[in-house]
Structure 1
Amino acid sequence: MSEIEIRYIDHTAIPYNKRVCLYGVGKGGAESLKLLRQIRPDLEVVFFADTYQSGSFDGFEILTPQALADRKDEYDLILICSCYYPEIITNLYSLGIESAVGFSWPKFYGYQFLPDELVSLNGEINFILKSLHSDTDRALFKFLCEARIAGSELVDLVYVSENSGNFIFKELKPAKIFPEHTTSSYFDFVDLSKVEYAVQAGVYDGSEALFLSGLKELKMLYGFEPLGYTAIAEAARSKLSDSGKFSLIPKGLWNCEALADFAYDGSASFVKGAVDFQSTGTVQLTTLTEEAGRLSIPRLDLLIADIENAEIPMLEGAMEVIERDRPQLAICFYHSKKQFTGIPLMLMNQLKDYVFKVGHYSEGLDESVFYAIPEEKFVEK
């Protein structure tokens, strides 16, 4: 046998007209099947495989790893629809199977829209477009929406490592098409002269916190960061402390008070899910409504958030304060397709007399920010 090769591909890299086996009968397998049926109908899915499951899945026979070894003449390629693909490839290799690759869809099935999903979301998307402030906001949202369709010609999947990739825009880039919406992440449409008390959900390295703490009008920034000061760059810690305008709360914002499992991955660290308050979760979650009372926050003027797909539960736990104080909001909404439509719909349906805008701050599909600015605080630029 040749030396083991751990490969990871996306749907564009699969050779045409091959017989494929999908390994994994969980959500990754189900979503991968939907993707291939819609985007790669030339491929023939012949069966599923799984380490622990047997029987059938969606009408397909489920094979064991040993059965895959015994029936190698019945398929051309195994697509492993699991984040554990390196371990699975290694196991299959020990059985003499060298045709298995990690499939990128499990990484992105919560990120890109399948064509039929967009059809089902047509009403919601039209509502968002109608409610956005300007033609430019609508054009940018439509552009981002089209780029998030699986198989979009607007982006390429570019690998940053052997097992990690990002969707990068091709010739058409947001910064060139929408320059006024791509200047300053979190702050493009915010009137900072009206910000005395701010909350940042997800402080990470402290760069935005440093900028806000330097504003003459700011009296206090409350930063919520589950990783505490360990997340903040060393050079920023002393500056924030010396400013007298920064208070770090080592908790994550959510829609309830609980403990949570937490995945540590630098700037991409995320809450894996709230668990019972009495259990042994690794980080403390809280609501902004509760913390505003505990900290005696006089008023909320600005809320910014980049918390790796926890923005919707955070907003649910902050809505009482938001409706009371009418702050300016800058909320990341790119981490999942659920967020991409869910955050605009949530804020547009719940907030009255607000202006809604969109910004985008990267060469790829990451770093989209949804702005909600009270009409009385909005300054046309």
Structure 2
Amino acid sequence: MDDFKLLTPNFSNECLLAGEIDTLFSSDIDSVIKRERECFDKLAAPFEKSIVLFGSGQLGRKTLKGLRKIGIEPLAFADNNSKLWNQSVDGLTVLSPEDAAQTFGNKAVFVVTIWGACSTHRLAHTREQLQLLNCLKIVSCTFLFWKYPETFLPHYCLDLPHKVYQQAENIKKAFSIWADEQSRHEYLVQLRWRMVLDFDSLSSPVSQEQYFPQDIFTLSPTDVFVDCGAYNGDTIESFLKHQSSFLGRIIALEPDPNNFKKLQGYVDTLPKSLQEKVTILPLAAAAQRKKLRFAATGTVSSVVTNTGKLEIDGVPLDELLNDTVPTFIKMDIEGAELDALLGTQKIIQNASPILAICLYHCQDHLWRIPLLLKSLSSQYRFFLRPHGEECWDLNCYAVPVTRLKPEFQ
């Protein structure tokens, strides 16, 4: 198989079959490493070093900083935001798409630096826009990140594809975990994206609400809900909207000090009868009790990281909830999900709570997290649902059979 041909969309219903995984893994790892190094240059040729960055937001600025670090100065930003036109962002001029195309359309590659959570954008939108403006070369920044991994990777679920091939055995095992065809299909397209960056085959978000897909399970008024990564209380608010009369308990963990203040402010707005049912803690779920370095941004992107300036307390849920039996645990904690689950093993084994776990923060969480959960309990059925575009807000739902909707039991 010609590895480079995999870079063009060619996805069919055959991908619904387990045998498609074998097809994806048919390349030898040396050819995969060669492809990841060369694909950007092949897609951008002959303009590999003549770059216009389309999108001057956070990802565009990260890309600009990284390119400068390796000695490449882009020609300009292009952006759809008219308020930025002819302004400077980090020392680089921002042009309208029309002006950028007129000036550079036939002598530069337009590297699309729009890819992030909470967006309705897809790569196809910008590709079509620039093609109509007669731009010759349009490439996602993800291919550029493959070319310069030391500078840019890992970036959320984006990492080098040869790392996927190194875990082929576990990836194939994880395929059999999913309980329905929709989940198996989603697993395959997510896997394919990690291997060949096939944006066009990725599913659109499901209509069901993130963390609470009512087509799979229903909530109980007596649920004991544990919210790891509670942010400003937005998930608790969503949870309570599904409850006509809540009789259970909510335990929320949020280690970012600014977010914790927002969370406290939200709880203070609740009726007294509900406030008494909510406990908020300035802690991070972890595998063991320990001090953690933390980058506190006051946003949804606050993260445990060795470069963080703040020191916070990490605690295993098994210890924290020693006298509590949770029935529903949600984790959206910016890549710390696997570590936190290691500290929740006893709860999972003994209580089998519903689990809503984000899988999009790290490349290998797509298979490592469901495999871990499967190894801990046989009581679960597993579902995979995308709640955002292009790999973002991807959730694994591990649901005990007794909590499933009848059609899944």
TM-score, normalization: structure 2? 0.60
Q: Which has the higher strand share?
A: 1
Question: Is this contact kept in 2: 1:195–1:218, CA < 8 A?
Answer: yes
Aligned residues between the structures = 286
Q: Does 1:89 align with 2:68?
A: yes
- Of 293, 301, 315, the residue aligned with 1:268 is 301
Hey, what's the Cα distance between the residues in 1 that align with 2:238 and 2:73? 52
Change (3 A) 1:89 1:125: closer
Alpha-carbon offset, residue 289 of structure 1? 1.1
Describe the SS at the equivalent of 2:172.
helix
Residue 321 of structure 2 aligns with which residue?
292
Residue 5 of structure 1 aligns with which residue?
none
The percentage of counterpart residues that share the same residue type is 20
Residue 142 of structure 1 aligns with which residue?
188
Residue 149 of structure 2 aligns with which residue?
none
Alpha-carbon offset, residue 350 of structure 1? 1.9
Hey, what's the Cα distance between the residues in 2 that align with 1:301 and 1:218? 13
What residue identity is the alignment partner of 1:262? F
- Of 224, 231, 237, the residue aligned with 2:267 is 237
Residue 198 of structure 1 aligns with which residue?
225
Question: Is this contact kept in 2: 1:202–1:306, CA < 8 A?
Answer: yes
Residue 26 of structure 2 aligns with which residue?
none
Alpha-carbon offset, residue 376 of structure 1? 2.3
Question: Is this contact kept in 1: 2:386–2:393, CA < 8 A?
Answer: yes
Alpha-carbon offset, residue 218 of structure 1? 4.0
The aligned runs of 1:107-126 (5 Å cut-off) are 107-108=153-154, 111-112=157-158, 114-126=160-172
Hey, what's the Cα distance between the residues in 1 that align with 2:373 and 2:256? 28
Residue 212 of structure 2 aligns with which residue?
187
- Of 257, 269, 272, the residue aligned with 2:289 is 257
Hey, what's the Cα distance between the residues in 2 that align with 1:218 and 1:273? 40
Q: Once superposed, what is the RMSD of the aligned Cα atoms?
A: 3.6
Change (3 A) 1:148 1:195: farther
- Of 335, 354, 359, the residue aligned with 1:333 is 359
Residue 350 of structure 1 aligns with which residue?
376
Alpha-carbon offset, residue 270 of structure 1? 0.4
Describe the SS at the equivalent of 2:385.
strand
Change (3 A) 1:355 1:36: closer
**Any unmatched runs of 5+ in structure 1?**
1-11, 13-31, 44-74, 156-168
Alpha-carbon offset, residue 284 of structure 1? 1.1
Alpha-carbon offset, residue 340 of structure 1? 1.6
Q: Does 1:174 align with 2:200?
A: no
Question: Is this contact kept in 2: 1:260–1:274, CA < 8 A?
Answer: no
What residue identity is the alignment partner of 1:270? V
Q: Does 1:210 align with 2:217?
A: no
Question: Is this contact kept in 2: 1:301–1:327, CA < 8 A?
Answer: yes
Q: Which runs of 4+ in 1 moved over 6 A?
A: 32-35, 82-85, 99-102
Residue 117 of structure 2 aligns with which residue?
none
The aligned runs of 1:1-40 (5 Å cut-off) are 36-37=36-37, 39-40=39-40
Alpha-carbon offset, residue 207 of structure 1? 1.4
Question: Is this contact kept in 2: 1:300–1:322, CA < 8 A?
Answer: no
Alpha-carbon offset, residue 107 of structure 1? 4.4
Residue 225 of structure 1 aligns with which residue?
254
Hey, what's the Cα distance between the residues in 1 that align with 2:70 and 2:166? 40
What residue identity is the alignment partner of 1:360? P
Hey, what's the Cα distance between the residues in 2 that align with 1:87 and 1:140? 32
